Amino acid sequence: MNFPKPNVGMLPNDRLAYSAIATRKPLKLPKDARMVVWTITNVEEWDPTQTMPRTVLTPPAGGSPMPDIPNWCWHEYGNRVGFWRLLKVYDEFKIPGVININGCALEAYPDIVKACVDRNWEFVGHGFTQRNMQKVENERDDIRISAEVIGRVTGKRPRGWLGPGLTETWETPDILAEEGYRYVADWVLDDQPVWLKTRGKPIVNIPYTQECNDVAMMLIQHHKASEFYERAIDQFEQIYKDAKESARVMAISVHPYIMGAPHRTKYFRKIFDKIRKKPGVLFWNGSQILDWFLKAGPQAPGS
């Protein structure tokens, strides 16, 4: 079926054709590993003069009052206290960290940035502010400044990008490729990395997750905290089984203000307690997944 094309950018299927995982050439990981787990921590700064991206408490009789101090504080707790709880888990299990970070948050939370730089975490561009990419004034400037800030503060420009709330315009992958990003994680459509065409050089998409994601599970679906552990293990066991013939990637995505709450952190920790020592599982960051896929995966389209 033919859909009307946007004036700028591309429709999804013009970037990648449909492909069934069962009929693709198998992907192989080094050392007979079956799967990769990557864990993403999202650090944001919420502008107190804008509507809060999420809320835990609605005001009496509803509505969204401005300012919204209780929900601003709820998020700020994650960066003052919760992040440091999650960090202990990563340290304990030697998990390579990936931080998706708003450009403005690098300046706002220097202690967090330092802790991540000290541990050689990968910094992934995540918008300059936590705002829908369709609503930022100039998408290219936002994408460019996000990379510049990360480069300046950490000494390394980011290779990866995840849009705030995974939002994109029709043009986002084109701009990302043009601004030097090598992978994006917004396209949650496969268990393996895939190539996306752009008007310039193609870009890789790495499997991120909406399913094992604390925003979806705790804030939207309102599951109890232990469900985060249960679901992650169910997800892991199925992907591990599926990956017998061809390698797969599993993502776990958390936010310090959600899984860093005292009553939730233990369920996050329990996941790694269970899966960290399992043979055939690699714990990598996004950049490592990219480098592997560039070598082991199919050729880039148009090359």
Partner 1 sequence: MTDPKGPMIPRERADYSAIVDRPPLKLPNNARIIFWTIVNYEVWDIGKPMARQLLPAPTGVALMPDVVHWAFHEYGMRVGCWRFFELFKKLGIKPTLSANARICEDYERVAAQARDDGWEFMGHAYEQGPIHKEPDQAAMIKRSMDIIEKFIGKRPVGWLGPGLTQTLETPDLLAAAGVKYIGDWVYDDEPTVIRTTKGPLVTLPYTIELNDIPMMMVQHHESDYLLKRTIDQFDRLYAESKDRAKICALAIHPYISGQPHRIKYLEAIYDYVNKHEGVLHWNGEQILDWYQPLADKQLRAAE
Residues of this chain that interact with partner 1 (CB under 8 A) are 48-49, 56-63, 65-67, 69-70, 72-74, 76-77, 79-81, 84-85, 108-109, 111-112, 222, 224-225, 261-266
Nearer to partner 1, 192 or 265 (CB): 265
| Cis omega (within 30 of 0) for bond into 67 | yes
Nearer to partner 1, 16 or 258 (CB): 258
Q: How far is the CB of 61 from partner 1 (least distance, A)?
A: 4
Q: How far is the CB of 103 from partner 1 (least distance, A)?
A: 16
**Tokens 């679901």 correspond to what residue?**
231
Q: How far is the CB of 258 from partner 1 (least distance, A)?
A: 10
Q: How far is the CB of 220 from partner 1 (least distance, A)?
A: 10
Sign of CA dihedral 109, 122, 35, 215: positive
Q: How far is the CB of 118 from partner 1 (least distance, A)?
A: 13
Q: How far is the CB of 134 from partner 1 (least distance, A)?
A: 26
Nearer to partner 1, 82 or 207 (CB): 82
Nearer to partner 1, 78 or 202 (CB): 78
Nearer to partner 1, 224 or 278 (CB): 224
Nearer to partner 1, 19 or 58 (CB): 58
> Taking CA 140 as the corner, what is the angle to CA 211 and CA 180, rounded to the nearest 5 degrees?
75
Phi and psi torsions of 49, nearest 5°: -95, 0
Q: How far is the CB of 231 from partner 1 (least distance, A)?
A: 17
Distance CA 230, CA 227 (A): 5
Nearer to partner 1, 115 or 194 (CB): 115
Nearer to partner 1, 217 or 250 (CB): 217
Phi and psi torsions of 214, nearest 5°: -70, -25
Listing DSSP states for the chain in one string gives: -PPPPPSSS--HHHHS----GGGSPPP--GGG--EEEEEEEEE----TTS--SS-SSPPTTS---SS-HHHHHHHHHIIIIIHHHHHHHHHHHTPPPEEEE-HHHHHH-HHHHHHHHHTTPEEEE--SSSS-TTTSS-HHHHHHHHHHHHHHHHSS--SEE--GGG---TTHHHHHHHTT--EE------SS-EEE--SSS-EEE----SSSBHIIIIIIS---THHHHHHHHHHHHHHHHHTTTS-EEEEEEE-TTTTTSHHHHHHHHHHHHHHTT-TTEEE--HHHHHHHHHHHSPPPTT-
Q: How far is the CB of 266 from partner 1 (least distance, A)?
A: 7
Q: How far is the CB of 263 from partner 1 (least distance, A)?
A: 4
Nearer to partner 1, 20 or 57 (CB): 57
